[in-house]
Amino acid sequence: MKNTIRSIIILFFILFFICPISGNPADTSGLSLESSAGYNDNVPKISDKQGSGFALYQINISQSFDFHSLKTSLSALGAYHDYFHVQDNYYLNAGTSLSLPVYGGRIIPSLFSDFLLFRDKYLTQDSKNEIRAGISLQWLVSGPFTLGISYARHRADYREDVQIMSSATYSGSGSQNNADSRFPGKQTMGRQSSARDDRIQHTVFQAVYYFSPTMQTDLLWEHIRVNSSVDTESYQENRISGCLTKNMNDKWEFSLIAGAGHADYESVPGKRDRQDTNWRSGLTASCFIRAVELKFQYEWEYNDSDENGESYHQQVTQCGFIWSF
């Protein structure tokens, strides 16, 4: 497998083993390896489908520390998607968090930050570096009921320039921008390259309720604002989603996921307004055998867009295992 995945794995093992391990029993570390295979029937998420089988390789490393009542954690996650009929992608995510439980642990304020490196050899325009920082608050309202809120700011720097449409009007005295001098007073269209830099604000409200020790539900409401240097990529989106999880005999776990979202894109002169409505659902079934989790996962997504080519269906099915240390 390509040199990139080898470099990522070596880097993560180095990070894990150089983490300072104290003698405090509350300090914990973790390492998990995941391998799975499946099929994605619409990799680029566009109207003209391009499907491919794939193999996924993932490694997750974490280290937590307790300094009296102050809790800190470090984490690193790397994944490589090896597609069989299109080009591959991979990402590396590393972050840290700092929390200080108060009122007997019933309220937990936290600070967090992380860095994402994403590279896609198929959809090269999606390759980016992204940094995030935010604050969150969890409130244990009662034994089975928890509320949470978080707010984060992201900055995403895309590695590839975007080709955008530009217009100009010729006044008759000469050519201006991309105007055609054969048609005085007419507006003409052309293409120009523009670097893409996104500023993102992400707010999340979460509610978790345990019906029993083996059954819980998670509800999320998200508000996302994207201010992009490319006007057509700026939008506001609201999402709502829910997850119902059931454990059986400490061996099996089943999860049902459903969600919907609506995005309003910024108005751009010369283009009709764009709105997207997105629906998604999923199912996960896991079987735990000692330190190994056998997992099956199915995801379905439908996006209804006013923009030509941006409406799509996608189904992803995969199965594999996670080995935790």
* Contact (Cβ atoms closer than 8 angstroms) between residue 265 and residue 276: yes
Closest CA to 62 of 71, 53, 73: 73
Write out the two tokens for 82: 């090896």
Which residues on neighbouring strands pair with residue 153, listed in sequence order?
133, 201
CA distances for 103 relative to 100, 109, 112, 208, angstroms = 10, 11, 21, 19
Q: What is the pLDDT along the chain (325 residues), one digit of tens a residue?
A: 445 545 555 555 555 555 544 445 456 778 999 999 999 999 999 888 899 999 999 999 998 888 888 899 999 999 999 999 999 999 999 999 999 999 888 999 999 999 999 999 999 999 999 999 999 999 999 989 999 999 999 999 999 888 776 654 444 444 444 444 444 545 545 567 888 999 999 999 999 999 999 999 999 999 999 999 988 899 999 999 999 999 998 899 999 999 999 999 998 877 778 999 999 999 999 999 989 999 999 999 999 998 888 899 999 999 999 999 8
CATH class for domain 63-324? mainly beta
Taking the C-alpha atoms of residue 100 and residue 107, their distance in angstroms, rounded to an integer, is 9
| 89 exposure class (CB count in 10 Å sphere: 0-12, 13-18, 19+) | buried
Taking the C-alpha atoms of residue 230 and residue 83, their distance in angstroms, rounded to an integer, is 29
Q: What is the model's pLDDT at position 255?
A: 97
* 124 DSSP assignment: G
pTM comes to: 0.81
Q: What is the model's pLDDT at position 11?
A: 55
Closest CA to 262 of 281, 278, 242: 278
Taking the C-alpha atoms of residue 200 and residue 155, their distance in angstroms, rounded to an integer, is 6
| Dihedral-angle region of residue 68 (phi above 0 means left; psi in -120 to 50 means alpha; beta otherwise) | left
Q: Sign (positive/negative) of CA torsion 19, 82, 300, 200?
A: positive
| 160 exposure class (CB count in 10 Å sphere: 0-12, 13-18, 19+) | middle
pLDDT tens, residue by residue, 155-177: 999 998 887 766 544 444 444 44
Other CB atoms within 10 A of residue 183 CB: 12
* 106 DSSP assignment: T
Distance, C-alpha 28 to centroid of its chain = 26
Q: What is the model's pLDDT at position 183?
A: 46
Q: How many helices (H) and strands (E) does the chain have?
A: 1, 16
Q: Which residue has the tokens 């996960």?
A: 284
Taking the C-alpha atoms of residue 219 and residue 207, their distance in angstroms, rounded to an integer, is 5
